[in-house]
Structure 1
Amino acid sequence: MPTCEVCQQPANQICGGCKLVYYCSRPHQKLGWREGHKFKCCAFKIQYSDTLGRHMVATRDIQQGEMIIKEKPAVIGPRITCPTVCLTCGKSLDPKEFHSNWDYYKCSKCNWPMCGPECEAAEVHKPECKAMTDRKYKCDIKYQGPNKVQAAYCVISPLRVLLMSTSNPLQYENIMHLESHLEDRINTPLYTILKANLVTFVVQVLGLPFDEETILKVASIFDTNSFDVRSPDGSRRLRAIYLTASMMDHSCKPNTKHIFLGDDFHMAVIATVPISKGDLITATYTQSLWGTLDRRKHLQTSKLFDCECERCKDPTELGTHLGNIYCSVCNNPFGPNTEWRGAMIVSTNPLDETAPWKCEKCEHFILSKQMVWGNNALKQDLQKLNKTIPNEFEEFIEKYSQTLHPTNHLVVQAKLALVQIYGNYKGHSLTELPNALLQRKLDLCHELLEIADKLEPGWSKFRGTLLLELQGAMTMKTKREFETGKFTKAAAQDELMESLTLLQEATNILRIEPSMKDTLELKITELTQLLDATAPET
């Protein structure tokens, strides 16, 4: 029988957090927590290996939907370049919202744009403000029109870490022990600019006692370890370092998702699938709907490592074919090989960006640089489309239907845009959609859910959002068919119960998302009312 962690007597109450420690009573559990278990109670441990470096491993079985980590940022601040934002809360600033003189509210001491007096007085701004005012430095950012990108913000986040060396030396040391990869970045064009701007600002303008290597190391630690932080409404976008979460290994098919909670941007890491004891706990540092060429290029550039996960090794990307195109020889309508219609071009070695791409049936091949060029050209075409006009996305899909596989990542992104437009945008709401487009939305949701089940299975936000879109379209279709007499009350009830099952799963996935509470409650109310309206009379 297990024994109590405090008194070593027989115990049957297990710690709900780590599931590793037992207590004989509630008072001893509280005592054990105060005496140090709170610092050890977690479902993971940090390990080191030559291949992975520091990484996170589950110390017990972790349930789907379980919160593994909740962590406040060690440091948070603006991105390297961004539109004018408040240094304290990160809100994008527009003088029209705050003042009538076509300029921002400015900190009364250092002159940096802020929301107002409350943000000016915030603790996070005080150290940098003092460092600047002590040297009589005044920020000179002026309003130059909406969305004007400012390069001056590159100094703020690194400066906040450097100032911790005296205000919070323990936190400073913890951050400085993170991987930087400075040796790989030092001669890049970006770091040549940072040498001129960031180092000059810290050393010459502010007169702080740091050498060039330390300053650039801090910048590189940010680039290697920071998370892109966004508020639910999109009004704030920053970058932050989370000391524990940064230990998670990357995977292009992760077993966790993360969200940001509250105005102080606590990060919650949540298991999207069951994780077994001993398994790696993984996150993704790129976009799941990008093809392997784009994902690996992004990781090489931003995080300085070559991903060799299961998905990246597979030429078909776990059977999704996100990076594949049709073979122009086998799919030539006048060609001799009619039995090879649908044959695809796949990479001969996905882990080598210079490897040629070859048809899976015939001997036709394409050089890697041709694939990269074509991918980039079509990506630019996609990015030019108006995000509110569905016909442009439909035309893109049709235009490249003989070239791109139906689940090529560019087609998938176009289809996802259509799912978001149909049923949600003005002029295309569910009540306004003709039956043909309503069915189109249903078909697209089913297609994308098949991809989500392979790339982001379980309780991922991608799957949850698709389930919610599918449920809404199914409910509208049932409502129309009931009102036109195509469905009896019993048949409508059966269809609505299927919609309810989808809504329940979507709610399980999305209820922790800060911006989804009202939407989910409205969906549940609407579906409940429809179920009542179609209930058989008693």
Structure 2
Amino acid sequence: MSDKICAECQEPAELKCSGCKMVSYCSKDHQKKHWKQHKALCRPFEIGETAEIGKCLIATRDLNPGDLILVEQPLVYGPTPHMVEEGPVPCPGCCRLIVGEKSPRCPNCDFPVCDPGCPGLCDMENHGHECMILGLRDISAINGLHDFYRQDALLALRCLLLQKRHPKKYAQLLEMQSHLDKRGSGTDTYNDIQDRVFNYLDDNFFRPLKCMEMKTGKNILPDTSKETIHKICGIIDVNALEINQDAEISALYPTAYLMEHNCVPNSVHSFDNVSQGYKISIRAALPIKKGEHISTMYTHALWGTQARREHLRETKYFSCRCKRCSDPTELGTNFSALVCMGTNEQPCGGIQLPLDPLDDTTEWTCSKCEIRLTNNEVSYLVNQIGEEVDHVQLSSPTVRDLDAVLTKLSTFVHPNHYHCYAVKHSLIQLYGYQQGYMPSQMTDDTLIKKASMCRELLDVTKRLDPGNSRLPLYTGVILHELHLVNMIMVKRKWDLGMKTRVKGILAMLQECNKCLAEAKQVLQHEFTTPAGEKLNKLISTSAQEFHRWIERNKIDLSKN
């Protein structure tokens, strides 16, 4: 509908809804009359545009944490491109992972599916429409389960299929930024898309489709040109949101894609599952003032500034200059800081930070001595450390293995460095669960060490993600583990008849209660992922057990 037409009577209109700026009215009477219908759709933002970032979402009123900003269905969704070539793949009908070495096949196109009777296979909005095109390939040429997914082509094909079935959706999709100027002919990205998507689709499906169209006189896919497919792949790479539920799914949304990036985002989004069509709900994570831009995060919150900015340049084609990237200490966390090695005679005890983290050629200076490092030297050192940490983390490490790595890391990087964070987060999930470190086997010193580690991790996490926008699962795990270690210490003292130390015990119990309540709040929108659902159930069970113990021992948590 034109923004100059009254939503109630379709006559010319100049008066816009003050809440969302999305619809117009010819009079206030018609605006009031239309409110019942418009209320559910009224959005607290308008679409603006700036020279620096292009189109964006701008709040049209003050928003508080938890306020709903936007709910919408995707234009299209499908398996995430660039998936690994081994391991389970999603069913095209229901998007659940296909388990087992020998998967069943779609009876019409021979595509790998979870079950030949999967309802989504016949649904024209899911697999039904593409099934006919996929069935054009010579079945004898299929090379096993991963043949289709290896080419990363299904989501691009689903985008192309919007041309005839949903032309308005297709037009919305083509309005999205593709950055073809940065991924054109001759680039590695162009060559990769040409081989993995265009050549694969054209050789196996589009050529037989054109022959069929010539015979029948039907025009099923008007445009399958190389230029269009490259543009669509660019649109997917730049704008798609990833949904990690049972399988890795990518979806393109008509409005949500306009949220700009910030390494401290002020919004949080959650997805319904496949039965609800992966509907997205976006809420305020932090207070948002009228006129402020609504932001999300395009990269990983637990990467250092160098890694985040490099990823954004390579995949989203811009250099982030947000407050976290601009701050050498990363909001006071020292998340990328190194320990200064000093001179050959004696380490000085200082820390190394970049002079200007927004400059890729910046020097790193020490807080106590004159030693300086180049950005390339730091990058090399951190990458070497990262490879070693990854190797240990992927080899089913023991508590001793991770403790040894952490000790080694302390020579080179700050205790809050993101490599240390990763090791500590793994460690707190091994203390209390691994043989030799079961609750009854841990010494008091080990319990105190775990509790201290949890509090350190919690402090860093809250600084990096104050709105619980990107790290709710990490935060939930830390809070739950802090509760558990406190309860082990409390029960140990209780069983030893040390009830006289009520103040210390009461403080730990109050912290337990606070951790469980905060974890529940942090995870309130994490019910559609297997990990989120499992963690929510675990915390619910722990809360019930905690309150039963409190009641049984007649403890008043409200005391000072």
TM-score by length of 1: 0.85
Q: Secondary structure at the match of 1:229?
A: strand
Is residue 112 of structure 1 aligned with residue 136 of structure 2?
Answer: no
Change (3 A) 1:469 1:293: same
Query: Conserved in 2, the CA contact under 8 Å of 1:493 and 1:534?
Result: no
Q: Deviations over 1:320-359 (max 9, x none)?
A: 11111122226x6x33xx8xx3312221221122222222
Change (3 A) 1:127 1:450: same
- Code of the residue aligned with 2:150 in structure 1: it is A
Is residue 533 of structure 1 aligned with residue 535 of structure 2?
Answer: no
Between stretches 184-193 and 367-376, larger displacement belongs to 184-193
Map 1:339-488; keep pairs closer than 5 Å: 341-385=348-392, 386-423=395-432, 430=439, 433-460=442-469, 461=472, 462-488=474-500
Change (3 A) 1:302 1:395: same
Q: Secondary structure at the match of 1:206?
A: helix
| Counterpart selection for 1:250 from 261, 264, 268 | 261
Residue 153 of structure 2: aligned partner: 155
| Counterpart selection for 1:219 from 213, 233, 236 | 233
Residue 530 of structure 2: aligned partner: none
- Code of the residue aligned with 2:519 in structure 1: it is A
Query: Conserved in 1, the CA contact under 8 Å of 2:335 and 2:417?
Result: yes
1:488, 1:18 → 2: CA distance? 60
Residue 140 of structure 1: aligned partner: 142
Between stretches 419-428 and 449-458, larger displacement belongs to 419-428
Is residue 261 of structure 1 aligned with residue 280 of structure 2?
Answer: no
Query: Conserved in 2, the CA contact under 8 Å of 1:260 and 1:267?
Result: yes
- Code of the residue aligned with 2:270 in structure 1: it is I
Residue 325 of structure 2: aligned partner: 312
Between stretches 357-366 and 29-38, larger displacement belongs to 29-38
Query: Conserved in 1, the CA contact under 8 Å of 2:352 and 2:365?
Result: yes
- Code of the residue aligned with 2:193 in structure 1: it is L
2:200, 2:555 → 1: CA distance? 74
1:45 deviation in Å?
Answer: 1.9
Q: Secondary structure at the match of 1:499?
A: helix
- Code of the residue aligned with 2:478 in structure 1: it is L
Show structure 1 runs of 4+ deviating over 6 A: 17-21
Residue 537 of structure 2: aligned partner: 518
Q: Secondary structure at the match of 2:299?
A: coil
1:92 deviation in Å?
Answer: 2.7
Instruction: Tell me the C-alpha RMSD between the 2 structures.
Output: 3.0
Residue 178 of structure 1: aligned partner: 176
Residue 65 of structure 2: aligned partner: 64
Query: Conserved in 2, the CA contact under 8 Å of 1:356 and 1:368?
Result: yes
Query: Conserved in 2, the CA contact under 8 Å of 1:56 and 1:280?
Result: yes
1:33 deviation in Å?
Answer: 4.1
Q: Secondary structure at the match of 2:329?
A: coil
1:298, 1:103 → 2: CA distance? 36
Q: Deviations over 1:251-304 (max 9, x none)?
A: 111122222222332222232222222222211111111111111111111211
Q: Deviations over 1:111-148 (max 9, x none)?
A: 110001214323300111112235666772425xxxx7
Residue 32 of structure 1: aligned partner: 34
1:76, 1:20 → 2: CA distance? 25
Residue 99 of structure 1: aligned partner: none
2:461, 2:516 → 1: CA distance? 17
1:30, 1:467 → 2: CA distance? 47
Q: Deviations over 1:187-244 (max 9, x none)?
A: 332320221342223334323532211110000100001122111xxx3112111222
Q: Secondary structure at the match of 1:384?
A: helix
2:49, 2:104 → 1: CA distance? 48
Q: Deviations over 1:28-66 (max 9, x none)?
A: 999634544443x12222211011211222222222233
Between stretches 387-396 and 208-217, larger displacement belongs to 387-396
1:521 deviation in Å?
Answer: 2.1
Query: Conserved in 2, the CA contact under 8 Å of 1:489 and 1:536?
Result: no
1:90, 1:502 → 2: CA distance? 35
- Code of the residue aligned with 2:499 in structure 1: it is F
Gaps of 5+ in 1: 7-14, 22-27, 96-101
Q: Deviations over 1:79-110 (max 9, x none)?
A: 22334331223333232xxxxxx521001111
1:173 deviation in Å?
Answer: 0.8
Change (3 A) 1:372 1:278: same
1:223, 1:212 → 2: CA distance? 17
Q: Secondary structure at the match of 2:52?
A: coil
2:230, 2:140 → 1: CA distance? 23
Q: Secondary structure at the match of 1:70?
A: strand
1:383, 1:406 → 2: CA distance? 17
1:451, 1:481 → 2: CA distance? 30
2:148, 2:431 → 1: CA distance? 36
1:164 deviation in Å?
Answer: 0.3
Change (3 A) 1:488 1:270: farther
Q: Deviations over 1:380-423 (max 9, x none)?
A: 10111134522222111101212111111111111111123334
Is residue 52 of structure 1 aligned with residue 61 of structure 2?
Answer: no
Change (3 A) 1:35 1:270: closer
Residue 133 of structure 2: aligned partner: 131
How many percent identity over aligned positions?
A: 29
Q: How many residues are matched?
A: 498
Change (3 A) 1:126 1:355: same
TM-score by length of 2: 0.81
1:131, 1:466 → 2: CA distance? 48
| Counterpart selection for 2:92 from 72, 87, 94 | 87
1:269, 1:139 → 2: CA distance? 44
Query: Conserved in 1, the CA contact under 8 Å of 2:432 and 2:442?
Result: yes
Gaps of 5+ in 2: 1-6, 9-16, 24-29, 207-220, 528-532
Query: Conserved in 2, the CA contact under 8 Å of 1:112 and 1:139?
Result: no
Change (3 A) 1:106 1:355: same
Q: Secondary structure at the match of 1:376?
A: helix
